[in-house]
Amino acid sequence: MRRRLGNVGLTLLLAVFMFIPISAAFILSAPAGADPVSGRADVYAAQHFRSMCANLELLPDVESVEQVVMIAVRDGLTAGEAGEAVTVAVIIGCPEYGYLLDAFIAKWAPRPVPVTARVGGVLR
């Protein structure tokens, strides 16, 4: 004795099978504000990660990260691409210097503007 799915059952079954791939697409997608690493930054990092890591190994401090970024800019990358290239280079070549990237970001990341400066007075 076979039972046939009614319209409601078929609709529910279809909804479940459509929900799973759509949910997976949302879960696995990048956050809305995330910018992908540019192709130029990837290529530069792949070509120069050994020398970048060697510079960081010689003098592991924030100034070394700044120098590596400036070299990448001198080689034709934008400042953003240079930062991406150094980040990728550290991730693939010398992850032990990740703390230097954190220090570099802490030093150079834009600071949020205080609320009082935006509205022209003190909020009460």
Query: What number of other Cβ atoms are within 10 A of residue 13's Cβ?
Result: 11
Alpha helices in the chain (DSSP H): 7-28, 39-58, 62-74, 79-93, 98-108, 115-119
* Residue 101 near residue 90 (C-beta atoms within 8 A): yes
Q: Identify the pLDDT of residue 37.
A: 58
* Measured distance CA(14)–CA(60) in Å, rounded: 57
Q: Identify the pLDDT of residue 84.
A: 94
Q: Identify the pLDDT of residue 109.
A: 82
* Residue 84 near residue 75 (C-beta atoms within 8 A): no
* Residue 62 near residue 103 (C-beta atoms within 8 A): yes
- pLDDT tens string for the chain (124 positions)? 555 555 655 555 544 455 455 544 444 444 544 455 568 999 999 999 999 999 999 999 999 999 999 999 999 999 999 999 999 999 999 999 999 999 998 888 877 766 665 555 555 5
Q: Identify the pLDDT of residue 16.
A: 46
